[in-house]
Structure 1
């Protein structure tokens, strides 16, 4: 199993590895070391290994850097022409010129994958797709048949580029197009994304869907009192203080600013941000803005908690908020925090991104507001706080939370693994 992160904080990947090992598969999860040092540990029955990345640029990378210097940094019009030229000339192979740093993943992961000599490679997201495809091809040259499962977490054409340059998205789209045909099966996070992926890549079969749902076994684990602290306790608030929580990545497109702007119109209400980078520049800006508005004492910022504690941790709040803005990928899926709030039985307030808004209006588990509109967020929060029991009652619907739980999703992975490797399918595993 391959992932382009440090595993910690990626609940989907953690659950996938642990549940596959529990089902009897021999799982090694390779991730990216955050500090340039190798790390190893066990995740249930799965082995986790974090691999160092980096090294000096070579070959195409060095040539590209020299070209950038020669052109004075490739100002945007020149960069656009550069991108258009190589995209036309090399098509799917254009990423080699536009984003040669992708070779770093091959150098870090490729030799380790080859040494493991797997029967199945489960590649999470687009960067690992290429690593898995090339490992599959090398295995074929040795006379070994390796199956490749691509786990597409996002629709690449619909995401905000991770870097502010015109090359990033065309390069990664080319990379994905080159290696998507090598996948023996594809799985993704929503039915709408499955439809988009099939159309984008001309897939013969519609990708299977595995929701980013919590594991109720984890959520129900008893926590020693000296170790477990709820979000309310971490904020130092009593039981009668209204508390809104946002849990997830902190970035402008996640819409956290609207919560800060709404606070002056919600006297007595507190907001907790449970985020990946509580000391990051974006979050510091939100804290500064809260100070300007005179509400800094009602904004609480903290980091993530372990995946198996997220749901009970969040249950200490009164409302879960998802204020994400209108980006194509935000419209097409129920995201991880939506399911975590649901299993914490929190009423939710969500922006009017399509899939989540439609779901909330159908279930009655919360309210919908116009993305980026503080006044409409205030209206929605007041409506939920006025009758929280009515919104919580939605979770009593028979089968709702069960269908949104990890065991049901893990069965999908297990069926795909068994279809790809029928001769190697385990007869059953034990929880590790």
Structure 2
């Protein structure tokens, strides 16, 4: 037991998601705690209220979140075009004005009824004429107000729809690319909200080390370290870069430049950089000139690989993908877990199934609408619905064991800048599950597959090429799985990666919990 003067070094891991589905940060936190670090994993709260729980020896903290900046941006759409000059400034104001107009219209009917009753009770004819004229004028005013309110609300609705279709204006995009903090916060208000909640948590916990996952946490971590320094405490910062934003292709046009701007500003104040992808690490060095920072070494690779301990603990309790489908052991089964979008190349698999008689394909998916539904419809058109299957996600700690009963693991990425640099998490799961692979010819994945000899490569998006590669592996799977030695499995497991992460912790902080 340590004294108060010898408290265990504390690491606070920040991640801008809800933690539950993030296998990487969960493994990082468990490994740090097992190595003796007093570990806090800080993520988002679904309830918006402060929540605390345990993940093994890790304290999971989800601080209270108002998300005030994000809500303001959502309900105060930009005023665009001529209509923007008359549009209501907020959705709430538009609703209030519309409600009041409905009441005014209802009141006109009430006032007509009151006037009719007065007339029936013997109202003076002259007074009746005056009251009728006043009521008619009021009705015209209410009608005119209705047109005006409708026009302003229509302009507001137009602005709101424009925000959904294009979250940022071209002017805003230019400002974000220049890196101005105000422009970045306007375009991505969640950064302000994260500072409000995660920054307070970092101050409260008084860590020795902040492990910032993703760019939205980098500024939060650096500012917390600066506040601690002003109070006489030393807090080190490690930035865990999960993405390379120069190659980002997501729909929100300001997200990537905003995150790149965050990196450019705050990276010089981070004490070390980690990355799960070799291509990202190399590209960051070139893009940000990391090697020019005083005393900074290149990003350290800590890949998001499966934990062998999870595979061992799963044992025989996991029925596996084959059992879930009720397929016999000799039925060829192709498997793909993870995100399904048009750039993942899974259309190629469906197109290839008619040329692979008797072969089944299973996708593990989080939802079944959108592009997934399009693939299902395509399978029906091609007459292979009985061999094209959808299954739900399984817990990350069970995934490797779940996949191991398949015949081949698929990695079907199409050519995009990010995909050329990426080795997907599923690739490491296939290795741990000892599955041979069929992969597309994107750069990083195909190079590693050639190096290991654990699968065949096809031309991305080419069904005929896919059929040839899959047929070759199906003819002799053992020719590819023989490369999976115990040494290979350890090298491509989380246990091997955790050692690298913990060594970086020791280097950066100069502290070793095992010495206490």
Which runs of structure 2 are paired with 1:371-382 in the superposition (5 Å)?
371-382=460-471
- Counterpart in 1 of 2:310? 218
CA offset digits 1:183-212 (Å, max 9, x no partner): 111011233322211222221321111122
Q: Which runs of 4+ in 1 moved over 6 A?
A: 74-78
- Counterpart in 2 of 1:96? 185
Pair 1:92–1:357, CA change in 2 (3 A)? farther
| Alpha-carbon distance between aligned partners in 1 of 2:28 and 2:343, rounded to the nearest angstrom | 27
Pair 1:284–1:32, CA change in 2 (3 A)? farther
Pair 1:139–1:67, CA change in 2 (3 A)? farther
Pair 1:65–1:145, CA change in 2 (3 A)? farther
Report the alpha carbon displacement of residue 52 of structure 1 after superposing the two structures with TM. 5.3
- Counterpart in 2 of 1:114? 203
Question: What do you get for the CA RMSD once the two structures are aligned?
Answer: 2.6
Q: Which has the higher contact order (CA 8 A, sep 6+)?
A: 1
CA offset digits 1:253-273 (Å, max 9, x no partner): 222222222222222111111
Structure ranking higher in helix proportion: 2
| Alpha-carbon distance between aligned partners in 2 of 1:54 and 1:292, rounded to the nearest angstrom | 48
2:268 matched to 1:254? no
Q: TM (normalized to structure 2)?
A: 0.76
2:432 matched to 1:420? no
Pair 1:224–1:400, CA change in 2 (3 A)? closer
| Alpha-carbon distance between aligned partners in 2 of 1:78 and 1:300, rounded to the nearest angstrom | 38
- Counterpart in 1 of 2:488? 400
Which runs of structure 2 are paired with 1:299-338 in the superposition (5 Å)?
299-338=388-427
- Counterpart in 1 of 2:386? 297
Using the TM superposition, name which of 320-329 and 248-257 deviates more: 248-257
Using the TM superposition, name which of 30-39 and 332-341 deviates more: 30-39
- Counterpart in 2 of 1:241? 331
Which residue of 174, 198, 206 corresponds with 2:285?
198
Using the TM superposition, name which of 27-36 and 370-379 deviates more: 27-36
Which runs of structure 2 are paired with 1:144-163 in the superposition (5 Å)?
144-161=233-250
CA offset digits 1:300-349 (Å, max 9, x no partner): 21222222211111001000000011122222242211111011110001
Pair 1:39–1:322, CA change in 2 (3 A)? farther
Report the alpha carbon displacement of residue 156 of structure 1 after superposing the two structures with TM. 1.3
CA contact (8 A) 1:189 1:333 kept: no
Report the alpha carbon displacement of residue 56 of structure 1 after superposing the two structures with TM. 4.1
| Alpha-carbon distance between aligned partners in 1 of 2:301 and 2:207, rounded to the nearest angstrom | 24
Bigger-Rg structure (1/2): 2
Structure 1 residue runs of 5 or longer lacking an equivalent are none
CA contact (8 A) 1:93 1:175 kept: no
CA contact (8 A) 1:94 1:174 kept: no
CA offset digits 1:206-242 (Å, max 9, x no partner): 11111222111211114464xx220111112111111
Pair 1:85–1:360, CA change in 2 (3 A)? closer
| Alpha-carbon distance between aligned partners in 1 of 2:316 and 2:45, rounded to the nearest angstrom | 30
| Alpha-carbon distance between aligned partners in 2 of 1:291 and 1:351, rounded to the nearest angstrom | 24
CA contact (8 A) 1:232 1:316 kept: yes
Equivalent pairs, count: 421
| Alpha-carbon distance between aligned partners in 1 of 2:397 and 2:14, rounded to the nearest angstrom | 21
| Alpha-carbon distance between aligned partners in 1 of 2:439 and 2:515, rounded to the nearest angstrom | 40
Q: TM (normalized to structure 1)?
A: 0.90
| Alpha-carbon distance between aligned partners in 2 of 1:260 and 1:33, rounded to the nearest angstrom | 38
- Counterpart in 2 of 1:22? 34
SS of the aligned residue for 2:394 comes to coil
